[in-house]
Structure 1
Amino acid sequence: MPLVIPGVNSSMGDKSEWVNKLMGKKLSDSASNETVFAKKDLPQSHRILEHDSMATADHQENRLNIHLDRDGVVHNVTYG
């Protein structure tokens, strides 16, 4: 029987898919390339959390949270 983890197998896709697409990249308002990912290509339900920024505690199972480091590079991706 497969292990079921809430939020990992959501309608937006598997978390590892987003980790592979985003980790180590910066976000941009324009096109994507090897080091940049275009914000327009993110799922509708997402939020970008900059280093040391405050976030609401409301849990939305299908919301993709993109955590940026001090340099604006993606260092973590979570759902909730």
Structure 2
Amino acid sequence: MPLVIPGLQSKDGSGKEDWSNKLMGKKLGEEHNEVTFAKTDLPKEHRVLKPDSMSTMDHKPERLNIHVDEEGTVKNVRYG
């Protein structure tokens, strides 16, 4: 039986690749449109990391880390 880690290996559209497709190049905001993704639709376990922000080094496999640039545009998405 294969090891399944929720959020990392998922058939329900919540895996890293799916989140990358939804978020890359967009900004986070209050509603969806062609350049914005609604914050309310992010998974419960997430954090947004700006280039100069500090973050803990704890590893949470279910937590979505969203890396944004200085303008708030998503540049990287990963779990951990």
State how far apart, in whole Å, the 2-side matches of 1:14 and 1:44 are.
14
Q: Is 1:63 the counterpart of 2:41 in the alignment?
A: no
User: How far is 1:13 from its partner?
Assistant: 2.1
Using the size of structure 2 for normalisation, the TM-score is 0.84
Larger strand fraction of residues: 1
Which runs of structure 1 show a deviation greater than 3 angstroms over 4 or more consecutive aligned residues? 4-7
Deviation per residue, 1:19-66 (Å, 9 max, x gap): 0000000001x2111100010000000001012111100110000000
User: Structure 1 length as normaliser, TM-score?
Assistant: 0.84
Letter in 2 for 1:46: H
Q: Which residue of 1 aligns with 2:18?
A: 17
Name structure 1 gaps, 5 residues minimum: none
The CA RMSD measured in Å over matched residues stands at 2.2
Aligned residues with identical type, % of pairs:
55
Partner residue in 1 for 2:28: 27
- In structure 1, distance between residues paired with 2:48 and 2:17: 17
